[in-house]
Amino acid sequence: MDTTISTGTEWHEDFQEWLQPFLAVFRRSEQRCWAPLYLQGLLGAGARKSVEPMAERVCPGQTQQLHHFVSTSPWSTAPLEQVLRKTADALVGGKDAALIVDDTALPKQGKHSVGVKRQHCGVLGKQANCQVLVSLTLARKEVPVPIALRLYLPEDWAQDQTRRAAAKVPESLGFETKGDIALAQIDATLADGVRFGMVLADAGYGSSAGFRAGLTQRGLRWAVGVQPTQKVYPADVRLDVPADPPVGRPAKHPRPSVPSVSVVQMIETLGSKALRRCSWRGGTKGMLSARFAAVRVCVADGALVSHWQHLPGQAAWLVCEVRSSGERKYYFTNHPADTPRITLVRAIKARWACEQAL
């Protein structure tokens, strides 16, 4: 095979050097030949990134060979993903790095692509026809490196055998929540020894008690967004065991000493003086800042009791951000109780780095 990558670009040598550990895990020489050409087509000039126009630019007259590599040549992604994780760790891994969980969406016009449906599309900022992927980004000092992408298969897709067969969805791929997909990706990241100090996520993940519990069970530090409706208890809440009634069945659960309230109500009880201005990094127009309030709470994510109320669960920081527009955002973190407010703020705002990467 005499196909070679054009050397007419300044980045050719760096590109070849960067590719070597990835190419090494391909078993066939043909795959090691076509993988660089495919990537060169994706990274190079030209708006159209389908196989035919890319082939015309990087390997004229050999469209079928490139198409075979992309669509029918069997190769496992797992070894490549492992190389990617280890490479990312060497670049930006460390105790001061963050692992950021987020969604990225691919707008679609049709209905036959795997997992496509009308759902929230972050790229467009609204409900739209799209595919959604769960992503992990490793970031340190505002330098992001994406390390994982997994397609989210909506439940109606997972249960529709006709659509699955037409799109050739493997039988092994069933419905998983986005949080479960993210936790599986995090497990693979930990297994490969990737170094990071905390996990960050927006309210799409942070509002899931199961996702937060999964991070805690893995011994991870985390800071996540939550919805304004999330319920909490004061940090000093007690659980009282009610006396058995003279008649009727005894109570099955202890009773909190005070009722749970929404995070909005909890912050309101602190008063306006609890909001203090904090700056977290420099922007193009100077230091970025907002007002923040922080208070220790017990999250209402314990056992479910009567009237859809949850008992107190994990202790955490509740942080409220008030932006210049007046918009308020709410967050939980499991940082220690003696953590300074500025540390909480910087942890929460570090999630911004993944937006650059996506």
DSSP states of 55-108? HHHHSTT-HHHHHHHHHTS---SHHHHHHHHHHHHHHH-STT-EEEEEEEEEE-
Helices (H), 254-357: 263-268, 341-349, 353-357
Which tokens sit at 237? 């809440």
User: Contact, 57 vs 45, CB < 8 A?
Assistant: yes
pTM value surpassing 0.95: no
Residues contacting 271, CB < 8 A, separation 6+: none
How much is the pLDDT for 248? 66
How much is the pLDDT for 304? 86
φ and ψ at 136, to 5 degrees? -120, 135
How much is the pLDDT for 121? 87
How much is the pLDDT for 2? 43
Dist CA 109 CA 117 (whole Å): 10
Single out the residue of 61, 285, 100 nearest to residue 199, CA to CA: 100
How much is the pLDDT for 44? 83
Single out the residue of 47, 54, 86, 81 nearest to residue 70, CA to CA: 54
How much is the pLDDT for 5? 45
User: Contact, 324 vs 313, CB < 8 A?
Assistant: no
Other CB atoms within 10 A of residue 255 CB = 16
Mean pLDDT by 10 residues, the chain (358 residues): 49 86 91 91 84 90 90 86 96 96 90 90 87 95 92 93 90 93 97 97 95 97 97 94 71 85 97 94 86 97 83 96 95 97 96 80
Q: Is 219 left (phi over 0), alpha (psi -120 to 50) or beta?
A: left
